[in-house]
Amino acid sequence: MAPAAAQTAQPAPVPTTVYAPLALSQATVARTTFYVTPPASLLTSGGVPFTLGNAYWLHYGDAPATATMNYDKPLAVYLLLNTSWTDGTFAGQTVGTVHLTYSDGTAKDTALVVGANIREWEYGVSWTANTLSSSSTASVWQGQGQAAQGGAMGTIDMLTISAIPTSPSAHLTAVTVSDTNNSHMGLVFQGLTVLYDPVIPRPGESDDTPAVVHSQAPSHSHSPIFTGVKPAKAAGPQGHRHGIYVVVSGDTLWGIATKEGVSLRALLEANPQIKNKNLIRVGQPIRIP
């Protein structure tokens, strides 16, 4: 019998966007302070993973919570973030800031506004400011709150912020959360994940040829949590980077297709992970064909 022909191994597809969950290693507050049985880990319905441990519980005058990093081609950051002891009088007030720092000395600030992009974690209490008007924030987990905190139902909300730098060469070097409200209210910061594009072309190659992976998160570089998108020839407007468009508040697939000069059908064919053309999420990466 003739020996079977040797099979040539096919190279694994090169990932071009990576979710990198970061541990809040300096946080000291057990999440069981708030929830009876908080999740040990979290993967949102949109595919964003989080590494969970202790939380920060920030109040006015506390040192800000800062996570340092070094990510090339950052696209978005995702934060598990709520307020605490937030009665209805806080609605509409700016109570904190998320500060993104880049290697070129630039920075981006996002104001945390109660009732817009942040709310009380114990949403099941009538006197709290427990609603959201911004599509940049959504609940990703719900469970029973501790009796010592009131015993009502609690939520963990995810805030999505575009992290694309002004300069294409700038790296994201830090994310800082600060409580700026001089009152009893606090901020509960439980998780942080960065979405970035680790693919860079080899010298002498065009953007249409294979590229190497340069990952600042080796422990996640072989994770299955990737989106299969290839880099394009140039960066575009805000929200767009290397052939990837990151959804911002108010976007629709039709609007993205029109803005990028492609048909809606071509956009859907390039993004088979989208099952419902009428449902996209802020922070979701979309491949531009």
pTM: 0.74
Under-70 pLDDT residues of the chain = 1-16, 199-242
Question: What pLDDT does residue 188 have?
Answer: 98
**Phi (first) and psi of residue 161, to 5 degrees:** -130, 130
Question: What pLDDT does residue 38 have?
Answer: 97
- CA–CA separation, 49 and 232 (whole Å): 26
Give the CA diameter of the chain.
Answer: 83
Q: Is 159:120 a contact under the CB 8 Å cutoff?
A: no
pLDDT by residue (tens digit) across 196-245?
Answer: 987 544 343 333 333 223 333 433 333 333 333 333 333 334 455 447 88
Ramachandran area for residue 43 (φ above 0: left; ψ -120 to 50: alpha; else beta) = beta
Task: Give CATH for domain 17-196.
Answer: 2.60.120
Domain boundaries, the chain: 17-196, 207-216+225-287
- Give the chain's count of helices (H) and strands (E): 2, 18
Other CB atoms within 10 Å distance of the CB of residue 53: 15
Interior angle at CA 286, CA 201 and CA 50, nearest 5: 90
Question: What pLDDT does residue 212 have?
Answer: 29
Question: What pLDDT does residue 1 have?
Answer: 52
Q: Please indicate whether the domains covering 17-196 and 207-216+225-287 agree at the CATH topology level.
A: no
Domain 207-216+225-287 has CATH 2.40.50.140: no
Q: How many CA atoms lie within 13 A of 193 on its CB side?
A: 25
Q: Is 85:193 a contact under the CB 8 Å cutoff?
A: no
Three-class SS state of 14: coil
